[in-house]
Amino acid sequence: MIHPTTNQTLDTQPLQCEEDRGEPLDLAGKHLVLGLSGGIACYKSAELCRALIKAGATVQVVMTEAAGQFITPVTMQALSGRPVYTSQWDSRPAGGVANSMAHINLSREADAILIAPCSADFLAKLAHGRADDLLSLMCLARPLDKVPLLLAPAMNREMYAHPATQRNLAQLQADGATVLGVGTGFQACGETGDGRMLEPEQLLEDMIAFFAPKVLAGQRVLVTAGPTYEAIDPVRGITNLSSGKMGFAIARAAREAGAEVTLVAGPVSLSTPRGVIRIDVKSAQNMLEAVVSLAPAASVFIATAAVADWRPAAPSQQKIKKDGSGQAPSLTFAENVDILATVAQSAAGQSGVLFCVGFAAESHDLHENAQAKRLRKKVPLLVGNIGPDTFGQDHNALLLVDAHGSTALPRASKLFLARRLVREIATRIKGTSANAQATT
């Protein structure tokens, strides 16, 4: 379909869910063993099981005897749609094999084993290679090179902080396990601190990231996102309709791809992607200061923020009052510094040490405007989109413009597009020790 104002071929179908659009589910084709050891956090594992399945995985649940004190195998069987295994003496066929060796068969077919919750006791058991129940037996018997082990610890804060637990966690990491971390906050025991099991949606995000190809490993990515807010007086200001969703999706996708990611966010109400460092700013000036201080440590800069072009030149320190004359106050504006152009035209930006990517929110003539903007800002890659078609929405269509031409990415979810864009960036910076770039 041709866009009415840009003449670009863009898919502007009404919004559909990811499955309808043919976007693969995040864990499609993955078979996971979800292991539950004993802890009150078992109640979250029911939700986690559902979330993993909703994301496309098949889930085989294995529970310790202690886990059975907190949640029943029947619940987990109903949610996973598979019989739950709890005992090494269980003679039912497992993994389609009737040799009474569930500890072998269940792990052989798995793409990963996730223990959630992983209690302090179970950590200790794993760290010592003990194998006196089905779950620990299965972890020990898994092929180390083929079946990764991921752990979501859950315990009281004192148990978590105890040197023995920390020693066991370090040992398990040295043995190749991935420790997904813990949450902080109110605990079932009434105390507050580190040791809560991560929330199901956080664990899901971590599992998806775990399987993502690490095409940006070793890169340090700096992203700007959202609108800026330019004060008129202490209670009023000027902003725009940017939701920040595209920038947040890019930060998440870059993190999934193995980069260290810092996100400089204007005023938005979005949760921070897992593993991303977030710096909240308000005005374009705040955003410029944050970016200029962070850019020297970055190897990729992606400017998705809808930075206000102008700010009130002299914001009032006090609320501007109506004076009853019917006369509106007149505002004069000053132009904000162009953050992207400032960074892209720095020595690092021009030498290619810092690969800079700009966005262009246009209302018409997308290709021409995007190409002109790319040359004006001196960036190797500029991503065009139609602002009114995407601001605040979960979907977008992109036009990638570089020195060689343009590539259209049809309308899809912002996360799907962000992952495509990350792959495009990785391809462009691949194979160059310094990120070589062409700006003409």
23 versus 368: smaller Cβ distance to ligand CTP: 368
Burial class (CB in 10 A: 0-12, 13-18, 19+), 342: middle
415 binds ligand CTP (CB under 6 A): no
Question: Which of residues 340, 386, 397, 417 is near ligand CTP by CB under 6 A?
Answer: 340
53 versus 417: smaller Cβ distance to ligand CTP: 417
Nearest residue to 256 (alpha-carbon basis) of 181, 206, 304, 201: 206
68 versus 315: smaller Cβ distance to ligand CTP: 315
92 versus 364: smaller Cβ distance to ligand CTP: 364
34 binds ligand CTP (CB under 6 A): no
Minimum Å gap between C-beta 341 and ligand CTP is 7
215 binds ligand CTP (CB under 6 A): no
Nearest residue to 429 (alpha-carbon basis) of 234, 219, 243, 281: 219
Cα–Cα distance list, 251 to 148, 154, 264, 325 (Å): 25, 28, 10, 49
Report the SS3 class of residue 302.
strand
Tokens encoding 199: 């929330």
Minimum Å gap between C-beta 342 and ligand CTP is 8
Which stretch, 37-45, 198-206, 301-309, 315-323, contacts ligand CTP (CB under 6 A)? 301-309
65 versus 309: smaller Cβ distance to ligand CTP: 309
Instruction: Exactly one of 118, 139, 189, 356 is catalytic; name it.
Output: 189
**Distance between CA atoms of residues 411 and 396, nearest Å:** 5
Q: Is the dihedral of CA 264, 266, 267, 268 positive or negative?
A: negative
Question: Which of residues 85, 160, 301, 359 is near ligand CTP by CB under 6 A?
Answer: 359
Q: Which residues contact 297 (CB under 8 A, 6 or more apart)?
A: 220
Nearest residue to 41 (alpha-carbon basis) of 160, 164, 163, 209: 160
Residue linked to tokens 């992952």:
419
Minimum Å gap between C-beta 278 and ligand CTP is 17
85 versus 359: smaller Cβ distance to ligand CTP: 359
Q: For residue 130, which amino acid is it?
A: R
**Interface pattern 303-322 for ligand CTP (x via CB under 6 A):** x-x-x-x-------------
Helix, strand, coil percent values for the chain (each to nearest 5) = 35, 25, 45
Cα–Cα distance list, 144 to 37, 122, 197 (Å): 21, 18, 25
Contact between residue 230 and residue 283 where contact means Cβ atoms under 8 Å apart: yes
Strands 355-362 and 300-303: parallel
203 versus 361: smaller Cβ distance to ligand CTP: 361
Minimum Å gap between C-beta 336 and ligand CTP is 4
Minimum Å gap between C-beta 1 and ligand CTP is 23
Minimum Å gap between C-beta 345 and ligand CTP is 12
Segment (H or E) for 398: strand 395-402
**Distance between CA atoms of residues 150 and 112, nearest Å:** 7
Question: Which of residues 147, 338, 402, 435 is near ligand CTP by CB under 6 A?
Answer: 338
Minimum Å gap between C-beta 353 and ligand CTP is 19
Which stretch, 68-76, 260-268, 310-318, 332-340, contacts ligand CTP (CB under 6 A)? 332-340
Cα–Cα distance list, 118 to 15, 73, 137, 144, 197 (Å): 40, 17, 15, 19, 8
Question: Which of residues 187, 358, 397, 414 is near ligand CTP by CB under 6 A?
Answer: 358
Binding residues with ligand CTP: total (CB under 6 A)? 15
Q: Is the dihedral of CA 406, 395, 389, 361 positive or negative?
A: negative
156 versus 336: smaller Cβ distance to ligand CTP: 336
Cα–Cα distance list, 165 to 91, 123, 131 (Å): 34, 7, 18
360 binds ligand CTP (CB under 6 A): yes
356 binds ligand CTP (CB under 6 A): no
Minimum Å gap between C-beta 394 and ligand CTP is 20
191 binds ligand CTP (CB under 6 A): no
Question: Which of residues 6, 242, 336, 413 is near ligand CTP by CB under 6 A?
Answer: 336
Q: Mark whether 42 is an active-site residue.
A: no
**Interface pattern 369-398 for ligand CTP (x via CB under 6 A):** ----x-------------------------
Which parts of 222-281 interact with ligand CTP (CB under 6 A)?
A: 224
| Chain contacts with ligand CTP (rule: CB under 6 A) | 224, 284, 303, 305, 307, 309, 336, 338-340, 358-361, 373
Task: Give the active site residues.
Answer: 189
